[in-house]
Structure 1
């Protein structure tokens, strides 16, 4: 029996480091992942979003009204991007998610303000994202103490009380419950986490055991093999969806879609999202050389899906480059559809753009996965 040898330990260390540098995927995960996550989330995450899209339905077209709108924009919390001509048009903008804040100015606003009658304006916020809505509502609520003072000073003495009142209304989530925002998003995260990782590791296991090589030697094409392997996991995703929605309804009173059109859009989005996650998992399996690598790559994808999709942090609070990355993630569009159908009673017409984006992502993932699978084994 020989004694402990530092030379043999050194030789083993050299061997392990050499093997580590040859494994490009693992090396990239070690060095690239921390840098990417630090830069990505350090610059992208923001719990105090500014320049949120807003609409003003002004029934009083006066200088005071224009001064009030200008005061809103000076807060930098909102950008007035729409000037609808009717309540129905503003309702449509809110329901489709194009605006986060809707302000209605009554037709007698100027006359009552000049008389000192303290007119009221209505501010409605899309509270499906309570964090984003809170900043906008706080900025609007502070307007009576700041706005119009200079404009009214030339007409009346220095006012001792606010010139108008703001009636705040939180739409779709009046109780401002965080669960109304988190639970629909949690469905997307659960499906992403389980389906992508489960598929990637299951197919990679086939490569490790050599059974995939046997399948590729049969007359079955790459597309047929992929469809055959992924179809059982579609049922898994459907069962997970039913469990999450049922428990969310029973335990947290999550509202469900109130119309057949809303349910149809929800089910269609769930199926598209499941197919997209499975296709991505299959694509990862064509890159990974081991189950460990498959799990690492799945985690690398999962983190941006959680932080850049609007699940935890307000999507509108992120810089534009981070929003572009988020738009490329299927979970971002899925969250909008789920929240829209369950909380806003959206229909297919309201969420058509999100469903088209989901469909394109599924098509891209599945096409690339089929092309990659043809060259995986020599």
Structure 2
């Protein structure tokens, strides 16, 4: 017992000296309970929507107001017609389009016809199922049995889960591997004694950082190619957009993930600590990015945090290009955050790195 207690005491003292591990003991459960208990909500509300109201009557405006009062959708745009609604869906600006035709009043009096049409982004099955609740809304002066709207699902009418999951899974895999590889880059140099050799060279800190990430950009693109091949061969995931656009979007995301990994590498003292920090960054990324849970269902604060995470923007890019067939120029709003993240964390990593053994 004395020997066992001695070993246990030694382990406790070692954990107390390892502040990062001790922080992870407290931080990981707190982060998980906060994310799962507060930020994750499967009851999606306030889905972004646009309206094309060709009737423009008091009753049609009442219908739009009722749809927004249900908190299922949030009207953010107006459109000239169904063609513009489809363009907004392709660009990812909205998830639901509400089209009210000219003969709306006559349709209201005919209980056998829908009064309008719903254009729904079906790339996320959860969002689609919530949006379809609008077809059962009550409307004064109309019998309720037939659906109020005719619902048309875009991009994934078969409701196949791989169509939604696989494009976002590209980003999840890239995030895990790129951050993990580079998070141990500087630590490995220090543990193997190579840092002593680098100190004697004229290589600047920023040159060392950029040189570290260049090979991993190529590795990341190889991974993208492999995932695309498997997704089409095994899961029949469509590629509706340009593959070149996907590769360019992947480069931006890979650079952001590598910059995060290098920053982790400057914080960690050992490779084990680097792996711990990688897992710590991976958890909020996968939960707040819209990969597992609809982004619209999160509280506003959680959405603000999610906008800072690179994976959030790459999920939108990959789904937009592969599923909706959008061009990279239509998704430019998702590229600037990735470039800003890369620049900021490269500066942090460069400033934190010092070619000194201490």
| Smaller-chain TM-score bracket | over 0.9
Task: Select which of 205, 223, 226 maps to 1:243.
Answer: 226
- The residue number in structure 2 matching 1:289 is 269
1:323 matched to 2:306: no
* TM-score scaled by length of structure 1: 0.89
1:213-245: CA deviations, max 9, x gaps?
Answer: 321221111122222222222221111110000
Aligned to 2:290: 310
For residues 26-54 of structure 1, give each alpha carbon's deviation from its aligned partner in whole angstroms, at most 9, with x where no partner exists. 11101122112211221111112011111
CA distance in structure 2 between the partners assigned to 1:163 and 1:235 by the alignment: 55
Deviation of 1:136 after TM superposition, in Å, equals: 1.1
Distance in structure 2 (CA, Å) of the matches to 1:255 and 1:365: 34
Q: Deviations over 1:299-338 (max 9, x none)?
A: 0011111111011110111111111111111111111111
Unaligned residue ranges in structure 1 (runs of 5+)? 153-158
Q: For residues 209 and 370 of structure 1, what CA distance do their matches in structure 2 show?
A: 21
**Structure 2: 5+ residue stretches without partners:** none
Q: Per-residue deviation at 1:164?
A: 6.7
Partner of 2:127: 132
Asked if the contact 1:269/1:358 (under 8 Å) is kept, the reply is no
Instruction: Tell whether 2:150 aligns with 1:167.
Output: yes
CA distance in 2, matches of 1:23, 1:95: 50
Distance 2:336 2:143 in 1: 54
Alignment-derived partner of residue 155 in structure 1: none
Cα drift, residue 376 of structure 1: 6.5
Distance in 2, Cα, partners of 1:75 & 1:273: 37
**Aligned counterpart, 1:190:** 173
Corresponding residue of 1:349: 329
Q: For residue 35 of structure 2, what is the aligned residue in structure 1?
A: 40
Matches within 5 A, 1:194-343: 194-258=177-241, 262-343=242-323
RMSD: 2.0
> Structure 1 residues 136 and 207, CA, compared in 2 at 3 Å: closer, same or farther?
same
For residue 10 of structure 1, report the CA deviation from its aligned partner.
4.0
Instruction: Say if 1:286 and 1:376, in contact at 8 Å, map to a contact too.
Output: no
CA displacement, residues 52-98 of structure 1 (integer Å, 9 cap, x when unaligned): 11111111011221221122123221122222223343223222222
Question: Is contact 1:78–1:136 with CA below 8 Å preserved after alignment?
Answer: yes
Runs of 4 or more, structure 1, over 6 Å off, are: none
Q: Secondary structure at the match of 2:329?
A: coil
Which residue in the other structure is 1:142 paired with? 136
Q: 1:30 aligns with which of 25, 33, 40?
A: 25
Aligned residue among 11, 26, 33 for 1:16? 11
Q: Residue by residue, what CA displacement relative to the aligned partner does 1:268-301 show, whole Å, maximum 9, x if unpaired?
A: 1111111221221111111111111111000001
How many residues end up aligned between the 2 structures?
358
Whether contact under 8 Å (1:53, 1:79) holds in the other structure is yes
Q: Secondary structure at the match of 1:349?
A: helix
Cα distance change of structure 1 residues 310 and 117 upon mapping to structure 2, 3 Å threshold? closer
Report the secondary structure of 2:116's partner residue. Answer: strand
Q: Bigger radius of gyration, 1 or 2?
A: 1
Partner of 2:162: 179
